[in-house]
Chain A
């Protein structure tokens, strides 16, 4: 056992979907577990923080960390695991780009607590209780991790070696990544362990997109019955496949749903949203200012659309608020 490579899995601000991606390895997981020694996997196995602290620095071959960093606990664990690991892998959109939790960057901590614990219609909280980081109770002071104002990607907190994109990542990518890491034949640091072409490359609908596509309006999926063969963008749907890294094999587009961009940008792009925006705006047909505005009304939530998974990783990182 002792010569087996130590591997850790950890989750921060995420939904747990990435854990599913690991479970999705199905029987392959046996091969993985045969090859490695899992030293941390909170979702499945009972290890404690002290177990990790006991491992010498660099004693873990690889940590697969999913989820964004938005609390003191997540930041501490990220630092701890970084120290203990030779290789740090950001697993999934949240860890790589901020993910869905990253949209919290349109607000700050107080606004979020206000909405979640007081403002939301389904909340019953007559005393207006909100989470406290510490609470004095009979001489004890239990503490809770503190929620930050801003959600960060993993690499904004610690040094990251590799990224596995996706919300959730395709099981195959996880498997390939594990195999690559175990092989010792490591790609350059910073590599995203997925193809570096946009999704269209693997989308079966690509050939149905007209060479010169110009759109007169944008439609939302509930407004039309999408043709199951034809390019979704050509049907007016907001498909972000052209701007999004491939690797998923077109799971959504095969399911007749447009790509929402969870695999993030290719390596040549600094701001996913900027490129997603240009992919759509560039092919609008209208020329007149009011006509253009009319077409753009079909994109009611531009930030939520273009930065659905990547707001913390974007150039602006978050919404600016009054000082």
Chain B
């Protein structure tokens, strides 16, 4: 693992719960790891699986989706849609060699600033332990020795 390896996490936070929770963590001056890059969406239900795939394709070490707690969605049920996609996508990613810890869905309400802190710190810690992403093999394998007759 390279020295001072810092995982990069793309976080999709819903506008009404988790984004506000992250705002609250800020106004409460809670300190947490600087590894996330938050992309605001109106609802966790807006997170197209393509966004997650794109993030991983472009080298993200982890993707975090933050939504409202079940039953608390600002749009009633968008978070359930996110949940269903999450499970299927997680299985797909696993088969593509992306470890489970790298993709996470968390319900964090607007009042749970502290949870943003703990979830981000926890994820960063787990990803640090996991190390950098596995590599794609070179397209062209190293030529083997020509066998003698």
Chain A positions within 8 Å of B, measured between CB atoms, are 72, 106, 108-110, 132-138, 141, 146, 148-150, 152, 269-271, 273-275, 277-278, 280-282, 284, 286-287, 289, 292-293, 296, 299, 302-303, 306, 314-323
For residue B137, CB closer than 8 A to chain A, the reply is yes
B129 at the interface (CB under 8 A from A): no
Chain B interface residue bracket vs A: 35 or more
Q: Are A303 and B84 in contact (CB under 8 A)?
A: no
Interface CB pairs A-B, < 8 A, 25: A106-B95, A133-B144, A134-B146, A135-B146, A136-B147, A148-B140, A149-B138, A149-B139, A149-B141, A270-B50, A271-B53, A274-B48, A274-B50, A274-B52, A277-B89, A277-B92, A281-B85, A281-B87, A281-B88, A284-B84, A296-B88, A296-B91, A299-B91, A315-B53, A321-B134
Q: Which of B81, B133, B143, B149 contacts A133 (CB 8 A)?
A: B143
CA distance A271 to B48 in the complex (A): 10
Additional 7 contacts, C-beta under 8 A, given A277-B85, A277-B88, A278-B85: A108-B137, A149-B141, A274-B50, A286-B84, A296-B87, A303-B95, A318-B96
Inter-chain CA distance A67–B84, complex, in Å, is: 35
* Chain A residues in 8 Å Cβ range of B52: 274
Q: Are A287 and B49 in contact (CB under 8 A)?
A: no
Chain A residue nearest to B51 (CB atoms) is A274
Chain B residue at minimal CB-CB distance from A138:
B149
In the bound assembly, the distance between CA atoms of A319 and B146 in angstroms comes to 29
| Structural contact, B92 and A273, CB atoms closer than 8 A | yes
Q: Which residues of A contact B96 (CB under 8 A)?
A: 303, 316, 318-320
Number of contacts between A and B (CB, 8 Å)?
A: 134
Q: Mark B62-79, 1 if CB is under 8 A from A, else 0.
A: 000000001000000000
Given the complex, which residues of A lie within 8 Å of B137, measured CB to CB? Answer: 108, 149-150, 321
**A282 B85 Cβ-Cβ under 8 A:** yes
Q: Nearest Cβ distance between residue B70 and chain A, in whole angstroms?
A: 7
Q: Are A146 and B83 touching (Cβ within 8 A)? A: no
Q: Does B12 contact A (CB under 8 A)?
A: no
Whether the pair A133, B146 counts as a contact (CB closer than 8 A) is: yes
B50 CB → nearest A CB, Å: 4
Asked whether A150 lies within 8 Å of B136 as measured between CB atoms, the reply is: yes
Kindly list the 8 A-B residue pairs having the minimum CB-CB distance in the complex, ordered from nearest.
A320-B97, A274-B49, A315-B57, A274-B50, A320-B134, A134-B146, A302-B92, A315-B53
B54 touching A323, Cβ below 8 Å = no
Chain A nearest CB, measured from B22 CB (Å):
24
One of A136, A287, A314 near B70 (C-beta < 8 A): A287
Q: How far is the CA of A98 from the CA of B39 in the complex (A)?
A: 32
Contact indicator B136/A320 (Cβ below 8 Å): yes
If A148-B141, A270-B54, A271-B54 touch, whether A292 touches B87 (CB-CB below 8 Å) is yes
> Bound state CA distance, A133 and B146, in angstroms?
7
The closest CB in chain A to the CB of B148 belongs to: A136
A residues in contact with B133, CB < 8 Å: 320
- Minimal beta-carbon separation of A315 from chain B (angstroms): 4
Indicate whether A135 sits within 8 Å of B149 (C-beta atoms), given known contacts A280-B88, A316-B53, A316-B96: yes
Residues of A within 8 A of B85 (CB): 277-278, 281-282
Nearest residue in A to B58 (C-beta to C-beta)?
Answer: A315
Q: Establish whether residues A306 and B92, one from each chain, have CB atoms under 8 Å apart when the complex forms.
A: yes
A292 adjacent to B92 (CB under 8 Å): no
